[in-house]
Amino acid sequence: MKAAQEDLEHRQPVWEALSSLFLDTDTSLARTWRVGILAASPYSIDELQGILVDEVYPVCRSNLFSVAGEWAGFDLEWLQSRILCRLRSPLHRFRWCRLGSLTVHMSGEWRHTKEGILQQRSQSHARPESKRSR
């Protein structure tokens, strides 16, 4: 997988979709949209989970503890700037002690999102084959 700063075209929509997991609303309402974006990305499920844990979670996690009230989403310029800044930081090397790797696996919404991605990808792979066999 390319470094984030070398793959912004593909990374930006993935960051936006994954950041929707950290909104203080019912995140399941955005699941269909999120699954569509992530399924269309060039990243495997493991790569998407790595992006979630290493790039999005550290920047967006504090919103889970916010009392600011319900809001629509993260500013995309801010999100990209914070993620890239964090990835350039020498402290980023201490990824082995990341809290996200523990908590992301427990997220029911992330599990449902992964299932949706796999289902959508399997359906889109099955369609071209069925057309060819006709």
Task: Assign 72 to helix, strand or coil.
Answer: coil
Q: Which two tokens stand for residue 28?
A: 């399941």
**121 vs 104, higher pLDDT:** 121
How many percent of the chain have pLDDT more than 70?
75
How far does Cα 96 stand from its chain's mean position?
19
Q: Which two tokens stand for residue 15?
A: 């960051």
Domain boundaries, the chain: 4-132
- Quote the CA–CA distance of 89 and 102 in Å, as a whole number: 22
| 8 A C-beta contact, residue 39 and residue 116 | yes
The pLDDT tens digits for 49-84 are 999 998 999 888 876 555 444 456 788 899 999 999
The pLDDT tens digits for 80-106 are 999 999 898 876 555 545 555 556 666
